[in-house]
Amino acid sequence: MTIATALEALSTFLGDRLSRSKSDLAAHGQSESYFLPTPPDAVAWPETTEDVTEIMRICNEHGCPVTPWGAGTSLEGHALAVRGGLSLDFSRMNALLEIHPEDLDAVVQPGLTREELNRDLRATGLFFPVDPGANASLGGMAATRASGTTTVRYGTMADNVLGLQIVLADGRVIRTGTRARKSASGYDMTRLFVGSEGTLGIITELTLRLHGQPEAISAAICAFDEIGAAVDCVIATIQSGIKVARIEFVDAATAAAVNAYSAGSFAEKPHLLIEFHGSPQTVAEESQRLGELVDDMGGEGFRWSTKPEDRSALWEMRHTAYWAILASRKGARAVVTDLCVPISRLAEAVEETRADIAASPIPGPILGHMGDGNFHAILLIHDDAPDELAAAKALSHRMVERALRMGGTVTGEHGVGMGKLDYMQAEHGDAWALMGDIKQVLDPKGILNPGKLVPQL
């Protein structure tokens, strides 16, 4: 009853759907972050829910850890098999199973990525809004309760998952939720699994809420002299009820990085990037309202456009920002921080963070989904300078403390994984022990993504 005996049984069952090759292990031992490579003992590629059921039955019997793997883009070491065992790769379970255009929902397998889904939906007039920067898997997005640029309008994964099929630790299969828009039928099991990071059960199917592609879209960009003014403009926008579909912030360092990376010509100042969705009249009206607000608050160069090419250029900037920042310091790796505060404290939180980074030895451009009160510093460190990792961790630590002090949360969207484990007690107090109790009931042997999210036994 060890990992070794489990892998024997798994190998018999899975055949070439199981691999122990060095390259496969290495590929599943990497993360998009500063965590050291941590290869699992084996990688399995289930192709059906029945495969997952049998895998879990075997692993539960043998006490073998199982860590699901979606697209591997999570930032807190979530998908690393830190206690060894199996990495469960969902890339072969990536079908779009059903679309119900009349009900605005779709049923998908967890390995489907958000970009694939939206490509497949294009002709239907519908889309799925949640967009973490990376081309993540929908299973991974549900597991991390992901959100993104459109959350200010369309919500997070918690708002856009109607139901799940889950394989439990012991191989039992359950369904949560229905295709009805709402329900008061018992505990909200769907929302318990959304954000549980693979520690409570394996997602093998998702029913997702879709939205109509907006009739018209307008986008706008504007620059500010000071970070404070840009943030104040976000706050005023939200508070005055202007219905933005996106309102993103990038600082001067980010604008500079993008210019260098893709020959842009953005003013090297803090910017807001904004989008409206609606009827042609609504987007025109709301864009104008926002334009007036921006003027009042000292923003420059505000102009809005409904032309797709203008819009693409603008969001291209936002979406390459992370890679542009990475490229801005040769040979650097990123420690990506994440916090979310009540909107009234946003200016203060950003200013303090900026000053703190300025006083540190490392660069750290700031950007974020400011409409939600959520932002990130991308701290750039060199591997061969261990004091830089220490500096980054200290900055991240102070950001987290700042978030808690201001009534916010230690992670707005990236999740806990390993990186935020040390802050769970501070944020949740006794409620964290309760999370551990719930984990214990659903996974008594502790085989589901051990080492993450809950108190460690």
Ligand X SMILES: Cc1cc2nc3c(=O)[nH]c(=O)nc-3n(C[C@H](O)[C@H](O)[C@H](O)COP(=O)(O)OP(=O)(O)OC[C@H]3O[C@@H](n4cnc5c(N)ncnc54)[C@H](O)[C@@H]3O)c2cc1C
Binding site for ligand X (CB under 6 A): 32, 67-75, 78-79, 90, 110, 132-134, 136-137, 139-141, 143-144, 146-148, 197-198, 202-203, 322, 413-414, 449
Reduced to 3 states (helix: H, G, I; strand: E, B; else coil), residue 272 is strand
Residue 25: name its binding partner from a copy of itself, ligand X, none (Cβ under 5 to 8 Å by kind): none
Residue 154: name its binding partner from ligand X, a copy of itself, none (Cβ under 5 to 8 Å by kind): none
Residue 110: name its binding partner from ligand X, a copy of itself, none (Cβ under 5 to 8 Å by kind): ligand X
Backbone angles phi, psi at 267, to 5 degrees: -55, 135
Provide the total of helices (H) and of strands (E) in the chain, helices listed first.
16, 19
Which residue, 138 or 283, is less far from ligand X as judged by CB?
138
DSSP assignment string, 348-365: HHHHHHHHHHHTSSS---
Structure token digits, residue 359? 């006083």
Q: Provide, rounded to whole angstroms, the least separation between the CB of residue 319 and a copy of itself.
A: 20
- Partners of 276 in the beta sheet? 218
Q: Tell me how far apart the alpha carbons of residues 367 and 360 are, in angstroms, rounded to a whole number.
A: 18
Q: Tell me how far apart the alpha carbons of residues 17 and 393 are, in angstroms, rounded to a whole number.
A: 38
Which residue, 41 or 197, is less far from a copy of itself as judged by CB?
197
Q: Tell me how far apart the alpha carbons of residues 328 and 359 are, in angstroms, rounded to a whole number.
A: 19
Which residue, 114 or 345, is less far from ligand X as judged by CB?
114
Structure token digits, residue 276? 């409206």
Which residue, 6 or 71, is less far from a copy of itself as judged by CB?
71
Which residue, 255 or 378, is less far from ligand X as judged by CB?
378
Give the β-pairing of 211-212 and 216-223: unpaired
- Plot region of 170 (φ>0 → left; ψ -120 to 50 → alpha; else → beta): alpha
Q: Provide, rounded to whole angstroms, the least separation between the CB of residue 289 and ligand X.
A: 26
Residue 416: name its binding partner from ligand X, a copy of itself, none (Cβ under 5 to 8 Å by kind): a copy of itself
Which residue, 195 or 450, is less far from a copy of itself as judged by CB?
195
DSSP 455: P
Which residue, 198 or 365, is less far from ligand X as judged by CB?
198
Q: Provide, rounded to whole angstroms, the least separation between the CB of residue 329 and ligand X.
A: 16
Element (H, E) at 133: none
Q: Provide, rounded to whole angstroms, the least separation between the CB of residue 327 and ligand X.
A: 13
**In 3D, which of 106, 83, 94, 41 has the Cα closest to residue 199?**
83
Residue 322: name its binding partner from a copy of itself, ligand X, none (Cβ under 5 to 8 Å by kind): ligand X
77, 147, 363, 387, 413 from 196: Cα distances, Å = 14, 15, 32, 33, 13
Q: Provide, rounded to whole angstroms, the least separation between the CB of residue 407 and ligand X.
A: 21
Q: Provide, rounded to whole angstroms, the least separation between the CB of residue 413 and a copy of itself.
A: 5
Q: Provide, rounded to whole angstroms, the least separation between the CB of residue 265 and a copy of itself.
A: 33
Q: Provide, rounded to whole angstroms, the least separation between the CB of residue 61 and a copy of itself.
A: 19
Residue 73: name its binding partner from a copy of itself, ligand X, none (Cβ under 5 to 8 Å by kind): ligand X
Q: Provide, rounded to whole angstroms, the least separation between the CB of residue 223 and ligand X.
A: 22
91 with 44: CB under 8 angstroms? Answer: no
Structure token digits, residue 131? 């967009």
Which residue, 48 or 240, is less far from a copy of itself as judged by CB?
240
Which residue, 151 or 237, is less far from ligand X as judged by CB?
151
Q: Tell me how far apart the alpha carbons of residues 15 and 18 are, in angstroms, rounded to a whole number.
A: 6
Q: Provide, rounded to whole angstroms, the least separation between the CB of residue 448 and ligand X.
A: 8
**Minimal CB distance residue for ligand X:** 140
Give the 3-state secondary structure percentages of the chain, helix then strand then coil, rounded to 5.
40, 20, 35
Residue 374: name its binding partner from ligand X, a copy of itself, none (Cβ under 5 to 8 Å by kind): a copy of itself
DSSP 193: H
Residue 173: name its binding partner from a copy of itself, ligand X, none (Cβ under 5 to 8 Å by kind): a copy of itself
Which residue, 325 or 416, is less far from a copy of itself as judged by CB?
416
Residue 160: name its binding partner from a copy of itself, ligand X, none (Cβ under 5 to 8 Å by kind): none
Residue 102: name its binding partner from ligand X, a copy of itself, none (Cβ under 5 to 8 Å by kind): a copy of itself
Structure token digits, residue 376? 């990130």
Q: Give buried/exposed letters for 427-448 (b at 16+ CB in 10 A, else e).
A: beeeebeebeeebeebbebbbb
80, 197, 325, 449, 456 from 418: Cα distances, Å = 9, 11, 24, 11, 11
